[in-house]
């Protein structure tokens, strides 16, 4: 059997069409996967750049952390309760601004490694100016005092006096215990 030139050309064209169609089908099914992987690679590269920036900033963060820790009051580890001293400081700051602390109750002390926090629930009375001055003074104390909950209500009509309660979280550290050799 002899294949003519015309049959050979048709055979080559048919084979080329089949190969081209198969290639198109395979490539077309993989294009979406490749685009997805390219997007994923770009996201990962962006995350790597962000993490590298964060790593470079670590020294700055540690310096800032050390600076903030120097602002915290330091208590002796043998001192069981620091609440009376912290409540005394809060009351003196309030008195400085003519804000009356009627009642103060300490909450439980929480610790995270060498950082401690104690919440003080205060019931108060005073003018708006006294309250704002007191809160401003607390804010200027840095990381020592953090009023997180504040409620305010007027006392009577047209008296200009306010009353309420607030929870002030006080941050502090304790001296490290000296190790004996």
The tens digit of pLDDT for each residue in 129-145 reads 999 999 999 888 877 88
* pLDDT of amino acid 179: 57
Sorted by where each begins, the domain ranges of the chain are 1-71, 74-174
User: What kind and span of H or E run contains 164?
Assistant: strand 161-174
Q: Homologous superfamily of 74-174 in CATH? A: Ribosomal protein S6/Translation elongation factor EF1B (3.30.70.60)
Burial class from Cβ neighbours inside 10 Å (0-12, 13-18, 19+) for residue 141 reads middle
pLDDT at residue number 91: 92
137 Cβ contact list (under 8 Å, min separation 6): 93, 96, 97
Output the pLDDT for position 160: 79
Measured at the CA of 117, the angle between CA 141 and CA 106, to 5 degrees, comes to: 95
Q: What is the mean pLDDT of residues 158-167?
A: 88
Query: CA torsion 76→77→80→86, rounded to 10°?
Result: 50
Res 177: pLDDT: 60
Distance, in Å, from the CA atom of 171 to the CA atom of 73, rounded to the nearest integer, reads: 8
* Residue 125 vs residues 63, 134, 155: alpha-carbon distances, Å: 40, 12, 9
State pLDDT tens for residues 41-72: 999 999 999 999 988 888 888 888 778 777 77
Q: Has residue 174 got a pLDDT over 60?
A: yes
Tell me 108's DSSP state.
E
Secondary structure class of 180 (helix, strand, coil): coil
pLDDT score for 180: 55
Percent of the chain at pLDDT > 90 equals 35
Entry pTM: 0.61
The larger pLDDT score, comparing residue 2 to residue 13, is at 13
Tokens of 46: 């962006």
pLDDT, the chain, mean: 86
Give dist(CA 98, CA 7) in Å, integer.
108
Confidence at residue 178, expressed as pLDDT on a 0 to 100 scale: 56
């Amino acid at each position: 059997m002899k294949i003519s030139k015309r049959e050979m050309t048709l055979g080559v064209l048919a084979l080329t069409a089949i190969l081209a169609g198969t290639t198109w089908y395979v490539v077309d099914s993989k294009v979406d996967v490749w685009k997805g992987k390219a997007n994923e690679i770009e996201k990962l590269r962006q995350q790597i750049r962000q993490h590298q920036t964060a790593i470079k900033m670590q020294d700055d963060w540690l310096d800032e952390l050390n600076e903030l820790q120097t602002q915290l009051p330091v208590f002796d580890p043998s001192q069981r309760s620091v609440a009376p001293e912290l409540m005394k400081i809060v009351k003196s700051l309030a008195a400085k601004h003519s804000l009356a602390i009627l009642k103060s109750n300490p909450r439980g002390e929480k610790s995270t490694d060498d950082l401690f926090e104690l919440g003080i629930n205060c019931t108060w009375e005073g003018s708006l100016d006294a309250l704002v001055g007191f809160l401003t003074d607390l804010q200027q104390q840095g990381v020592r005092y953090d009023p997180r909950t504040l409620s305010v209500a007027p006392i009577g009509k047209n008296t200009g006096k306010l009353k309420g309660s607030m929870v002030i979280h006080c941050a502090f550290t304790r001296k490290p215990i000296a190790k004996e050799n």
